[in-house]
Structure 1
Amino acid sequence: MELDRDHIHQLMNEKVVMGVINETDEQLLQNAFKEHPELKTEFEQLQQEYAIWSSEPAIQHLDSEADFALIEDELKSRKRRKRNGRAFSMLLIAASIAAIVVFIYPLFTSHPDSITPSQELALNKTTLQLQLSNGEVIDLSAPKDSITLTGGTQLRNNNHSLTYSTKDNTNTTEQVNKLWVPPGMDYHITLSDGTIVFLNSATSLQFPFHFTGNTREVFVDGEAYLQVAKDHNRPFILHTPKGAVQVLGTAFNVNTYDSGRIKVSLVEGAVSFANAEKQTILKPGQAITYLENKGTTLTALNENELLWIQGRYKLDNAPMTEITKVLPRWYGVKVVIDNPAVAEKKFTGTILKAEPVQEFLDAIKLTTGADSYYKDGVLHIR
């Protein structure tokens, strides 16, 4: 039987971080080590790396009760902190545990029947909506204290957030719902296991009202920040259009806006990236980017990329073409740059989602001289 290296890498990471795995998996791992000595060498190297990493004082004192209020406070204060002699901006406080495992499978193409990107649900892309597994569409654009669904599920939609409770959790099948956050909005939802998902504009989330089986699985297309509830017995798997992220409990950001690209950013916790060739344990303040046909790169965490949680998008000497990607998501308007010379200009500034788009356009004109106008519902910059 051909060795499933992805699965072996997963077991190696689980044993490194958790210390023990079940008897069946342990036997499978030992057999793999016996037949492939290079895997045992790799495992021992991982153990050494993790031992060094986990001995750092900062890792031994992680906050296990972080919530969104703390995240927001950190984003507002933006205080710089020192860790091991290097500058590190702690924008977010990770929840759950001091060490987690994340697996990204760049070649991942299949998804469980219940969670699949091929589900084209008939949602109105301009309003906040929830489509249930039976096809019924719930309009969430108007806050309501409580919505009772067939079967007894109670939805509570207020303050840009959705929570729910189910009357019957004995159903052994997961019925997948789809939440759509339109351009110009952001939203967050608390799942049945306590995981909190913050969704950026133009983002969809597929999820069940309650998780069954040995895993907790959702699908995200767009951008989301997750605080995953700790559950050692049921890993949390986040599917994206081009890959999957598996965690045991932590807080992280995933961005799939650009086709063929996935970026996962970690602020706290132990992160292991695995592909067919090797695996690497990341440290806090690092990010992994996967580009289709080009593989992965490891970079420093860009704190500006996490400011969307606060409704801010920071442009730092960015090309004008970047706003043609951001404004459609944040304001629901198509953008065209008429003048190629303007497209090459650089711009530094901040887009505030709560303010009218004209405020940002005025800032562009003031700093670059580029004017703007509307024609047939399209925003032109010249």
Structure 2
Amino acid sequence: TLVVPSSKDYKLKLSDGTEIWLNSTSSIRFPSTFSAGKREVYLTGEAYFQVAKDKNHEFIVHTDHAEITVHGTSFNVNAYPESAFTTALVEGSISAKKGSNKLLLKAGREVMIGANNKFNVHDFDAQEVLGWMKGTYFFHNKSIEQIAPVISRWFDVKVNWDNAHIAGQTFTGEIDRTLPLSVVIANLQLSSGIKAELKNGVLTFK
């Protein structure tokens, strides 16, 4: 099992030639070489896959939320425990499976598992979904509560807020992982008027 620590990301290449980019605090389990049957990996967190084409051997990504099957394609999977499961297809085709529900996804579309384990399919903004690979998190009308896990993973801090009203405050903008956390905090404060304090590894929005 490969585990990526906070504030880091990692790229690896599997024995079949498949390339995988892993986001912070993600982990993936895979064999050193694939057997004669299926190609299977187990993911927690977020990763972007460029799967080597092999018509005779399916490539399967297992997560706690759903299972994704593909022959050769490029797609992003967000399967962090605290987030809603999403997978966005850049090119090719994949199928997503959750219990008895199964869906074939087309390029340019993203599927999210919503209430009652139902699939919700929609178009996606590639910059917003894939920006993390270049160290930038783009967000549109996202709340503090939704942004907090990204800040926590990328800057290795705990994020709190004083009350539910603060947690629901929304932002549109971007977070650059190459900048110091103090600059990121200052930018968020300027764009929203919300106050924030960093003390002993804990960032509190007030």
* Alpha-carbon distance in 1 for matches of 2:135, 2:102: 34
Q: Deviation of residue 260 (structure 1)?
A: 7.6
* Alpha-carbon distance in 2 for matches of 1:312, 1:260: 18
What is residue 380 of structure 1 aligned with on the other side?
Answer: 204
250-259 or 372-381: which moved more? 372-381
* Alpha-carbon distance in 2 for matches of 1:324, 1:275: 27
Report the TM-score when normalising by structure 2: 0.90
What is residue 152 of structure 2 aligned with on the other side?
Answer: 328
User: Partner of 1:233: helix, strand, or coil?
Assistant: coil
1:191–1:287 CA distance, 2 compared to 1 (3 A): same
RMSD: 2.1
Which structure: larger Rg? 1
Q: Deviation of residue 280 (structure 1)?
A: 5.1
* Alpha-carbon distance in 1 for matches of 2:26, 2:103: 29
Name whichever structure is richer in helix by fraction: 1
**Corresponding residue to 1:288 among 107, 111, 114:** 111
Is 1:244–2:64 an aligned residue pair? no
- Percent identity reads 38
Q: Deviation of residue 294 (structure 1)?
A: 3.1
How many residue pairs align between the two structures? Answer: 205
The AA in structure 2 aligned to 1:179 is: L
**Corresponding residue to 1:299 among 97, 122, 146:** 122
Structure 1 runs of 4+ aligned residues shifted over 6 Å read 275-278
Name whichever structure is richer in strand by fraction: 2
Q: Deviation of residue 254 (structure 1)?
A: 0.7
Q: Deviation of residue 367 (structure 1)?
A: 1.9
* Alpha-carbon distance in 2 for matches of 1:274, 1:380: 38
How do residues 1-382 of structure 1 correspond to structure 2 at under 5 angstroms? 178-259=1-82, 261-273=84-96, 281-291=104-114, 293-303=116-126, 304-382=128-206
Note if contact 1:267-1:301 (Cα within 8 Å) is conserved in structure 2.
no
Residues 301-355 of structure 1: CA deviation (Å, up to 9, x unaligned): 2321111111110121222222222111111100111244433322121101111
Report the TM-score when normalising by structure 1: 0.50
The AA in structure 2 aligned to 1:218 is: V
The AA in structure 1 aligned to 2:41 is: V
* Alpha-carbon distance in 1 for matches of 2:75, 2:54: 16
* Alpha-carbon distance in 2 for matches of 1:206, 1:280: 24
Note if contact 2:65-2:98 (Cα within 8 Å) is conserved in structure 1.
no
